Amino acid sequence: MVLPTGRFGRLGVTGAFGVAALLLILVIGAVLDLSASRAGQGRLAEYIETAMVDPVEAIVSAARTHRIIFLADVHGSAATKRLAAEAIEAVAASSGVDAVVLDVTSDAQAYIDRYIDSSPENTASLLAHPAVLQEPNPASREYLDVYRRVWRINRNVGPDRRISIYAADAPDWPPEKAISPAEFARRYARRDSVMAEIIEQRIFLRNPRARVLIFMGGFHGLQSGRGALQTGGAAPTNVTWLATRLNARHPGEIVTFLTDAPTGRVNGAVAEYVGTRIPEFLGDDLPSRNFAVRINDAFDAIADPLIERDSPGLDFEILPRGYNLRDMADTWIRIGS
């Protein structure tokens, strides 16, 4: 009788077959996953091709039936600012908009008011305060154009159609000086609560039927789930998003548009919205033109669809794990340029 030698001699025949079976299972699993991914990719691409519409038209249509429109900004992207300016003008000419809300520190409100009330137009109060334009930012000029578009609209409408602009971010955001990861997490988590209260107190308390367009980083527009920031061995700091809070107070009134757009900078900031994994998932099947499409179960094939960014000493995660994008937002907008 010849005994097994080498590796199989040490493993034994049964062990060798076990290893081979495990490898086969892994290979089969990988093939099945790849097949499922390709099937999901094909289904999503086909759905987009048949269902996509013009982004501005989609926003205008949603504003006719919902009082709160959330349009996701990608900080550093000029394209999202141009879309916001076009959408504000189009909605104003259709169903109307009473207020535009930005993720600009609320300390800057006086400078915004001074500009909106200027006659003739005088942008000095905006240009003199970098926080109003989210500077330093390669898209600051396009961000300024959002303010200027509102100013021009107001000059051509009656008092009852004038648009107000509200700076809704926390007064201590973004931090001016370096702070610890734990303090960063605490301040970040507080922002959405502050935003919600500013919107309620300054807008809806005065006009319960106000029509609002919110333009800010996309995470704030998520209508379910939560964010989790964790540093070291401490318990996570949880974030309840602005749109989730507004949905609880104004059920059925909010529509969220998430965006993917080119950006003028490489952004590694922790917990800042930079887009989704949809373009990566679709690859060559991604249409090159700008479009909007309703988010449905065809998007479920994308695991962890929102891009998350960590930083040294601070981890950021969207929860619950395994979430579907259709539970978080209503419509996806792709801007190619």
What's the pLDDT score for residue 18? 59
On the question of pLDDT at 1 being above 80, the answer is: no
Q: 3-state SS of the chain?
A: CCCCCHHHHHHCHHHHHHHHHHHHHHHHHHHHHHHHHHHHHHHHHHHHHHHCECHHHHHHHHHHHCCEEEEEECCCCHHHHHHHHHHHHHHHHCCCCCEEEEEEEHHHHHHHHHHHCCCCCCCHHHHCCHHHHCCCCCCHHHHHHHHHHHHHHHCCCCHHHCCEEEEEECCCCCCCCCCCHHHHHHHHHHHHHHHHHHHHHHHHCCCCCCCEEEEEEHHHHCCCCEEEEECCCCCCEEECCHHHHHHHHCCCCEEEEEEECCCCCCCCCCCCCCCECHHHHHHHHCCCCCEEEECCHHHHHCCCCECCCCECCEEEEEECCCCCHHHCCCEEEECCC
- Shared domain check, 249 and 225: yes
Is residue 64 assigned to a domain?
yes
What's the pLDDT score for residue 15? 59
Percentage of the residues of the chain whose pLDDT score is greater than 90:
78
pLDDT band at 172 (very low <50, low <70, confident <90, very high): confident
Is residue 108 a contact partner of residue 167, using CB atoms and an 8 Å limit?
A: yes
- Shared domain check, 170 and 60: yes
What range does the domain containing 292 cover?
A: 54-334
- Shared domain check, 28 and 101: no
What's the pLDDT score for residue 36? 47
- Shared domain check, 40 and 171: no
- Shared domain check, 36 and 165: no
Is residue 1 assigned to a domain?
no
Our count of domains for the chain comes to 2
- Shared domain check, 307 and 197: yes
Is residue 92 a contact partner of residue 163, using CB atoms and an 8 Å limit?
A: yes
pLDDT band at 41 (very low <50, low <70, confident <90, very high): very high
Which pTM value belongs to this model?
A: 0.89
Is residue 4 assigned to a domain?
no
**What pLDDT, in 10s, does the model give residues 225-248?**
999 999 987 899 999 999 999 999
- Shared domain check, 62 and 30: no
**What pLDDT, in 10s, does the model give residues 249-277?**
999 999 999 999 998 665 557 899 999 99
Is residue 162 assigned to a domain?
yes
- Shared domain check, 221 and 148: yes
Q: Over range 62-89, report the average pLDDT.
A: 97
On the question of pLDDT at 304 being above 90, the answer is: yes
- Shared domain check, 174 and 38: no
- Shared domain check, 139 and 35: no
What's the pLDDT score for residue 12? 61
Query: Where residue 189 sits, what CATH number does that domain have?
Result: 3.40.50.11550
